[in-house]
Structure 1
Amino acid sequence: MKPLKDAQLGAFTFFASALPHDVCGSNGLPLTPNSIKILGRFQILKTITHPRLCQYVDISRGKHERLIVVAEHYESCLNDFQKLGKTVSPEKVLQIAYEVLEGLEFMNNHGMVHRALSAHNVLMDCKGNVKLAKFGLYHMTDHGADVDFPIGSPSYLAPEVIAQGCFHPSDPSHDEDPLPSGPKTDVWSLGVLLFELCAGRRLLQNIDITERLKFILTLGCMDDIVTVLAEEHGCLDTIKDLPENVLELLRKCLTFFPSKRPTPTELLRDHVFSEISSLYMPFQKPVSLFSSSLRCAHLELPDDISDLCKDDDDDYLSERAIDEVYHLWCLAGGDLEKELTNKEIIQSKPPICTLPNFVLEDGESFGQGRDRSFLLDDTTVTLSLCQLRNRLKDVAGEAFYPLLEDEQSSMSHSNSSNELSATVTLPLIIRERDTEYQLIRIILFDRLLKAYPYKKNLVWKEARVDIPPLVRGLAWAALLGIEGDIQAKYESIDKDTPIPTDRQIEVDIPRCHQYDELLSSPQGHIKFRRVLKAWVVSHPDLVYWQGLDSLCAPFLYLNFNNEALAYACMSAFIPKYLYNFFLKDNSHVIQEYLTVFSQMIAFHDPELSNHLNEIGFIPDLYAIPWFLTMFTHVFPLHKIFHLWDTLLLGNSSFPFCIGVAILQQLRDRLLANGFNECILLFSDLPEIDIERCVRESISLFCWTPKSATYRQHAQPPKATGENGFGKTATYYPSDYQDMPKTDLSREPLALCDLKAEVSPRISAEDLIDLCELSLTGPTKRTKAGKPKIVAVDIRSAEDFSRGHISGSINIPFSSAFSPDGGLVQCPATGVLQSYRGRVIVVISHAVKSAAMFAAHLIKVNFPRVLYTGWRDQQVEDHWIADCPLPPDLTTFLSFT
């Protein structure tokens, strides 16, 4: 997006054509409203940035198919010259013509035609440069098919457009759609504009509309259209006095037959612009964040560095991108409909005035004629930024240019820094609506993302605070480590050749998050189809499973105009969190995942786990859609955004904690109900507080030892043995799957053995790490200052006395369990009550005994219970035979 500079924000409104309510499409579903179609097509306009085009910013859909468009706007336009009634110098005419053609050529290169070119749609900035407005109206309305009004002013329409006549898709008299206008139609409109500038008056202004159209069509019989128009309007002498190059330009633009009329590109290269063309530098599109080109290749420092320090204007807001300013305007209380209502563009009517007919007491009847408010009102209303500027008046200038190397808080650059610091502690939904806070966060993230991947660690650090909604798409891409020329890779994938999966994709897309206007649009369906197909084609070892469309939805929504980035994010997300979930036979992967999840429930909430197991309500019945879609099938998009903001900071085990947090929000209802009631509860999941869910998930994650969630079917360890999350986070553990294997690491278990265990295991290296932290580090202590972990050694007293982990307590298995396997309430087991709430690790050289002891503790509702499961007999032999232990373990054993 271009910076705001001296531009303003403008808004205009129109209605889309209404569709009949009793008509369905070929798929049996209701027809997509035309306003939704327009909204989907509009999105690509936001990516078209050029110095000669007014930047599109946003579109809003209201009641009764009303649409409000927000775009860059300027008060001055070519109409101002006509109001003065004076001619424009030939030099200025050539400048305007050249700049208009530059904008038209750029549009044509993107497959678009203006078609609505007129004097009030050619705006002028403060330097007198051309800015074409409303250039996307013809494109977004599908060449006018989705609205009830013609696109373009009759005075400026080309003869071939007029010859086609009016058209509406609901009109049965038209068997075929008219051909869409091409680039040459805009050249005719430009010729009319230039003629008016040269003549100093409007063409065909005082002629009836019907006569006006007839006159334009009769021009085809004339040899010199420019002379005929000059005679008709009494300005022949003025036109004859024009320089030859201007007259030649007018004749080329006002060529009646399209086959002989030049295109904007051809006209730009014409010799009539030989002198003026050297004054303009060709436009260079900014390099995107993810590409193979250097983003800094065209940066230049001024000859005098002191020029950078000049502060002639304190209007820092004008240096921000237009979309940022509009986003902040909305947060500061901006209301589009209210602005248009205040200017009487939107007028409300009493209900009685909307009746087809009504009769007064005196017998006078009134019939409702055609409501002209449903026609196009070309008025653009300027949105006042006063309220926004007043809201940001206390923000110091330094806040707009934060120093990334400064370790101080980014909140220190405001006169109201105390208020901003307090804002950080507020709920996320409040922070996202705070104008001043969002300004600070957007600016900071914007600078960090521009420095990506160099500032990747700082992106991670700031993302742990929160992610501004405006930059969420790019921030997620950075958290997922997206790099390189993603566009070239995406374009190299064959997304057109039919494949067997096409049918299933076609069926799933119309059911995926279709409450969202963007994703339910035809353009949304097309993009959905392309991204999903690209993923299927580029992963031949995997298959399409239902739920993949739900996974795609958040990435497509955030990167609607960048399919390549949506595909890249999805391709990076799935291996990290859903490795091998999309195998043709994924039963072993899913079953292992659900088994570990069951153990996590038992670890964090044994009472709930015991109840669910007793009634037979196992995770297989409700949790598969959770994890297969990473909760996108369960929650609406606005909740998924907040959930995934934290999920992307975690490792592949974090979804387990989210699942447990969801169950704990429903805990009371689950404990009070049986199997049938629980099934009904999850068939229509109650409202879940996502912020609470995220907060509790983080807490659960911090209490979970990294090896407790070990899965053999998780993503293999990274070659570097590093984990970006662990290295940047201060309160999360690192991902066990990404750690290099050692002699004390966990080994995979057969699925049947894993299912037989109630409590999760902990690796030796993890136990050593936790014991070290609990003894020396405050980060693993409870609020009361006590260590979070306690080791319970269930070997015999004799073995315990020979060697044990420092600080562990001894409860011999033989004294704790009766011959029938029940837990005996001996003094030693009573000691465990004082440790309730801490992580209890059961240690023994006999794995089965440790597993049984841990299972009994869970059965009596002891939370956070684990046991040691050594990778082989090696460590157990060390315990029994008093052999030399591995150095890492020896350090934490005390011997008598």
Structure 2
Amino acid sequence: MFPLKDAQLGAFTFFASALPHDVCGSNGLPLTPNSIRILGRFQILKAISHPRLCQYVDISRGKHERLVVVTEHYERSLEDLLKERKPISPGRVLQIAFEVLEGLEYMNKHRLVHRALAPHNILLDCEGHVKLAKFGLYHMTGYNADVDFPIGYPSYLAPEVIAQGMVKSADHTQSDRSSPSGPKVDVWSLGVMLFELCVGRKLLQNVDISERLKFILNLDCVDDILTVISEEHGCLEITMDLPKDVQTLLRKCLTFHPSTRPTPAGLLQDNLFSEVSALYKPFRKPDGLFSSSLRCADLIIPEDLRTFCKEDGESFGQVRDRSFLLDDTTLTLSLCQLKNRLKDVAGEAFYPLLEDEQSTISPSNSNHELTAAATLPLIIRERDTEYQLHRIVLFDRLLKAYPYKKNQIWKEARADIPPLVRGLTWAALLGVEGDIQAKYDAIDKDTPIPTDRQIEVDIPRCHQYDELLSSPEGHRKFRRVLKAWVVSHQDLVYWQGLDSLCAPFLYLNFNHEALAYACMSAFIPKYLYNFFLKDNSHVIQEYLTVFSQMIAFHDPELSNHLNEIGFIPDLYAIPWFLTMFTHVFPLHKIFHLWDTLLLGNSSFPFCIGVAILQQLRDRLLANGFNECILLFSDLPAFFKNMCVFPLDVSQVDGYLFLGSVSSTASVELLDDNELSIKSGSSRESIRLNELKTEVSPRISAEDLIDLCELSGPTGSKMPTKKTKSGKPKLLVVDIRSIEEFARGHISGSINIPYSSAFSPDGDLIQCASTSLLQSFKGRVVVVVGNVVRNAAEFTAHLVKLGYPRICILDGGINKMKPTGLLMVPSPQI
């Protein structure tokens, strides 16, 4: 980033060409509006930063194909110098030429051509340095194909551009083509402007446009164009008095044939600028977050921090009627409201200290107003200017210190993630590191593969309500990222749904395909392990079975009802988990959902699935199979039309029981207010057929020991963790016989022998132990036995009776025997 100094924000507007309504593309779908095409191409311009270019900020699409572009802007330009009608000194001319060529060369490296160079588009900052404006207009309009006006100004257009005329294709279905104008057209335009600066007035201003063009084209047979133009305008004497290096520069720029005219890069290497170039430091692009280079942040604290809040005047644009032709006016946007809002922000807020990981570094603790803002709903926080300023500055500092500050990034992300840095923050949470661009470039994304056809079919149906992803540029990037993933994961295959998984990453990293690919490549092994195998039926069935157990754990009443009517997860949940809910929710809601998802492990999607069912609980309990099928067939529209974010995972109250399939991680039991995920718990692999016979999930012995706070090889123990009411958080029910229970049991457990627990009708037989169990209804109950099948049947009975939070100790009592934590009661004397 570069100091803005006296920079302001400016806006200019234009209309894209309207398309015929009766024409469809080759896929049978309506044509993409030209305004959306322009919006897609514009995105790369936001990523181009250089001291000689006006930074593009954003673009907005309005009605009737209107587009509004916001960019860095300055009030003064070369036009103002020409209005003074005084020749500019040769040294100043060389300086201006050098700075313009610097900007043009950098554009050319990004395959951009200005094509609209004119004095009013070469702005000057407070120090008189050049800033090229509207340099992306030619690129974003598809090289003039998507608008009804020409890009460029007759007095400054190169001869080859004039000879070519305004070329527009009649084929509205064609994809973006290569630029018909090369870098040398800007060199001619620069030469004309430099000549005007040297003589102190504009050329050909009192001549008809057709006469101007005819004059330029007739220069073909002229050997010395500079002399002819000087004679034509009665300024030959002024021209001949110019220093030789200035005359040489003008002659090189005003070379008629483009084959012999130099490029901007070629002119910069000329000895003409040997003295001028010594005054400038070579531009070095800052290292990105993910690169092979070492990074450092050149942080300079200004002497007077109050300069951040210095106010200035307010400017208003002239009201004019606008047609569908280009109105070249740039209106200055007032920043007074923003500056007034931030005038009380302390300068130190722009340089937050990153404390140690044990302390709270959230800026919401800095003052009362921010603390209050931090308690507001997320959608309000994201629109709070001052709150977002503190969060963005903090995350920017943390991300620059990634991966060293990875834990603090994770800690801050638990509060919220600023939308402006969401893409980089997700990458950090996923552990993306290294030179990802080199890895991405090494993947062959061009050679045809069998999957190409399916990708082409899926992309036009993937989140196409979004203007950015529906643009041709969005489709092109979709194809490249998806193909890169398929090619680089030979052991996996493309399944429908992969495009939906790609969409959030591509949207957030539209100008960084390599980062979108790296994030998706890190996301899939963590949350969709083996989902994209050629035969993924076993994995999906295992996943759905565990999900059924999660429903029974949290809401046995709903689980019993859905099982009775035959509405099983196989009928509705496969798209949920295969796409991590991107098939259900629109993008703006997926962002909030994944902000939370990325903080958890591979088991957390189960809780999200349960939370969705909780949102629909009343409707599901009141309806039968057919009504539930209809409800879920329209589920995306149901959630899309909700005015607030629909998921509240905290509705799955008490404990978040995170059950994983046996092929991934372990079963874990965590407090609802604690989203940190423990690792290292072990569990035995379970056969799918056996897993399907169990209604309730399993908990590992390690997690049970931790939750009961058992310790010591002698059987000594610490008190069991308790709720706010003083009662233990969980109850261990040992279903072995009385004799086996007496030979050793878990401290604090109760004995309800399986053989005598239930009546023939399935009701609990009343006794002291079953009464205690009933008093624990609503808390976690862990069933322990010798035989897993008995424990599974026991828990199934409890679920039928409406007991929530029922689980099985994985491996039974045998898993506890080697720990030395079983307690044997003392003999009675």
Ranges of 4+ aligned residues in structure 1 off by more than 4 Å = 176-179, 344-347, 688-694, 773-778, 819-822, 892-896
Match of 1:321 in 2: none
TM-score (norm 2): 0.93
Deviation at 1:165, TM superposition (A): 1.9
Match of 2:737 in 1: 796
| Conservation of the 8 A alpha-carbon contact between 2:612 and 2:647 | no
Residue 474 of structure 2 is aligned to residue 524 of structure 1: yes
Deviation at 1:701, TM superposition (A): 8.3
CA shift in 2, pair 1:620/1:317, >3 Å: farther
CA distance in 2, matches of 1:618, 1:533: 34
| Structure 1 stretch displaced more, 626-635 or 844-853 | 844-853
CA distance in 2, matches of 1:767, 1:292: 45
Match of 1:747 in 2: 684
Match of 1:562 in 2: 512
- SS in structure 1 opposite 2:68? strand
CA distance in 2, matches of 1:893, 1:89: 101
Residue 816 of structure 2 is aligned to residue 864 of structure 1: no
- SS in structure 2 opposite 1:382? strand
CA distance in 2, matches of 1:40, 1:124: 29
- SS in structure 2 opposite 1:639? helix
Counterpart code for 1:836: K
CA shift in 2, pair 1:171/1:646, >3 Å: closer
Matches within 5 A, 1:115-134: 115-134=115-134
CA shift in 2, pair 1:729/1:259, >3 Å: farther
1:252-298 Cα deviation digits (max 9, x unpaired): 111111122111111111122122222222211111000111012xx
Deviation at 1:803, TM superposition (A): 2.8
| Conservation of the 8 A alpha-carbon contact between 1:14 and 1:375 | yes
CA distance in 1, matches of 2:428, 2:672: 15
Matches within 5 A, 1:486-885: 486-685=436-635, 686-687=638-639, 694-696=647-649, 698=650, 700=652, 703-706=655-658, 709-714=659-664, 731-732=674-675, 734-735=677-678, 738-739=679-680, 745-772=682-709, 781-818=722-759, 822-870=763-811, 874-875=814-815, 885=817
Residue 317 of structure 2 is aligned to residue 343 of structure 1: yes
CA shift in 2, pair 1:773/1:631, >3 Å: farther
| Conservation of the 8 A alpha-carbon contact between 1:16 and 1:35 | yes
Deviation at 1:826, TM superposition (A): 3.9
Deviation at 1:313, TM superposition (A): 5.0
CA distance in 2, matches of 1:819, 1:234: 115
Q: 1:887 aligns with which of 814, 819, 824?
A: 819
Match of 1:58 in 2: 58
1:299-341 Cα deviation digits (max 9, x unpaired): 779xxxxxx66523523379xxxxxx9xxxxxxxxxxxxx99x
CA distance in 1, matches of 2:2, 2:259: 37
| Conservation of the 8 A alpha-carbon contact between 2:305 and 2:348 | no
Deviation at 1:792, TM superposition (A): 1.5
Match of 1:149 in 2: 149
CA distance in 2, matches of 1:254, 1:76: 26
Deviation at 1:382, TM superposition (A): 1.3
CA shift in 2, pair 1:65/1:310, >3 Å: closer
Matches within 5 A, 1:435-450: 435-450=385-400
Deviation at 1:795, TM superposition (A): 2.5
Q: CA RMSD in A?
A: 2.7
CA distance in 1, matches of 2:475, 2:719: 53
Counterpart code for 1:748: S
CA distance in 1, matches of 2:399, 2:4: 20
Counterpart code for 1:90: P
- SS in structure 1 opposite 2:756? helix
CA distance in 2, matches of 1:452, 1:317: 30
Counterpart code for 1:860: L
CA distance in 2, matches of 1:295, 1:716: 38
1:629-662 Cα deviation digits (max 9, x unpaired): 0000110000000000000000111000000000
CA shift in 2, pair 1:747/1:793, >3 Å: same
| Structure 1 stretch displaced more, 768-777 or 139-148 | 768-777
| Conservation of the 8 A alpha-carbon contact between 1:11 and 1:380 | yes
| Conservation of the 8 A alpha-carbon contact between 1:642 and 1:691 | no
Match of 1:162 in 2: 162
| Conservation of the 8 A alpha-carbon contact between 1:480 and 1:648 | yes
Residue 442 of structure 2 is aligned to residue 461 of structure 1: no
CA shift in 2, pair 1:682/1:317, >3 Å: farther
CA distance in 2, matches of 1:510, 1:162: 38
Deviation at 1:159, TM superposition (A): 0.9
Deviation at 1:765, TM superposition (A): 1.7
- SS in structure 2 opposite 1:146? coil
Match of 1:221 in 2: 221
Deviation at 1:485, TM superposition (A): 0.3
Deviation at 1:97, TM superposition (A): 0.5
CA distance in 2, matches of 1:566, 1:895: 63
CA shift in 2, pair 1:600/1:691, >3 Å: farther
Residue 39 of structure 2 is aligned to residue 102 of structure 1: no
Deviation at 1:690, TM superposition (A): 9.7
| Conservation of the 8 A alpha-carbon contact between 1:816 and 1:826 | no
Counterpart code for 2:182: G
| Conservation of the 8 A alpha-carbon contact between 2:614 and 2:651 | no
Deviation at 1:234, TM superposition (A): 2.2
- SS in structure 2 opposite 1:151? coil
CA shift in 2, pair 1:766/1:678, >3 Å: same
CA distance in 2, matches of 1:561, 1:716: 38
| Conservation of the 8 A alpha-carbon contact between 2:742 and 2:824 | no
- SS in structure 2 opposite 1:201? coil
Q: 1:315 aligns with which of 307, 311, 323?
A: 307
Counterpart code for 2:677: S
CA distance in 1, matches of 2:586, 2:673: 30
1:679-734 Cα deviation digits (max 9, x unpaired): 000000122769765532x564871345xx132222699xxxxx9x99x9981352
- SS in structure 2 opposite 1:518? helix
Counterpart code for 1:275: E
Counterpart code for 1:810: N
Matches within 5 A, 1:322-361: 343-344=317-318, 347=321
- SS in structure 2 opposite 1:275? helix
Match of 2:374 in 1: 424
Flag structure 2 segments of 5+ consecutive residues without an equivalent.
712-716
Counterpart code for 1:316: F
| Structure 1 stretch displaced more, 384-393 or 506-515 | 384-393
Deviation at 1:836, TM superposition (A): 1.3
| Structure 1 stretch displaced more, 282-291 or 589-598 | 282-291
1:495-533 Cα deviation digits (max 9, x unpaired): 111110000000000000000000000010010000000
| Conservation of the 8 A alpha-carbon contact between 1:646 and 1:694 | no
- SS in structure 2 opposite 1:9? strand
CA shift in 2, pair 1:813/1:177, >3 Å: closer
CA distance in 1, matches of 2:624, 2:365: 56
Match of 1:881 in 2: none
CA distance in 1, matches of 2:472, 2:719: 56
- SS in structure 2 opposite 1:223? coil
Match of 1:305 in 2: none
Flag structure 1 segments of 5+ consecutive residues without an equivalent.
302-307, 319-324, 326-338, 348-371, 718-722, 879-884
CA shift in 2, pair 1:548/1:286, >3 Å: same
Deviation at 1:413, TM superposition (A): 7.5
| Conservation of the 8 A alpha-carbon contact between 1:804 and 1:895 | no
| Conservation of the 8 A alpha-carbon contact between 1:639 and 1:690 | no
CA shift in 2, pair 1:74/1:501, >3 Å: same
TM-score (norm 1): 0.86
Counterpart code for 1:430: I
Matches within 5 A, 1:96-495: 96-170=96-170, 180-296=180-296, 311-316=303-308, 343-344=317-318, 347=321, 373-405=323-355, 407-411=359-363, 417-495=367-445
| Conservation of the 8 A alpha-carbon contact between 2:309 and 2:343 | no
